[in-house]
Amino acid sequence: MPNHVHVLLSVEPGASLGDTVGSWKRYTARHANQQLGRTGPFWQTEYWDRFIRNEAHFNATVEYIDQNPVKAGLVSEPSLWPYGSARPKA
């Protein structure tokens, strides 16, 4: 997505979600800024989390994430989005 990202992850027992997200955001911001030839903030400080309660909720979340670029009009089907998990495996 051009202006946001969806990430579905599991946090290790005893790990803090905030620490995990913070670490991921620092890592990806550093590498994205390097690739873009820029410096400074990359991500907003906030994030939206959702606790996945069961397998049906997990599957619905995967479907939502896969359909997001389709709903945004960026591709006609999820497998055409080059950054998502719905794309064909190489």
Per residue in 59-82, pLDDT (tens digit) is 999 999 999 999 999 999 999 999
Return the half-sphere exposure (C-beta side, CA atoms, 13 A cut-off) of residue 50: 13
pLDDT of residue 23: 94
Give the C-alpha distances (Å, rounded to integers) separating 43 from 21, 24, 63, 86. Answer: 11, 11, 24, 24
Residue 2 has pLDDT above 80, yes or no: no
Q: Which residues contact 69 (CB under 8 A, 6 or more apart)?
A: 1, 75, 78, 81, 84
Contact 76, 86 (CB under 8 A): no
**pTM for this prediction:** 0.80
For the cut 90, the answer to whether the pLDDT of residue 90 exceeds it is no
Band (pLDDT 50/70/90 cuts) for residue 30 is very high
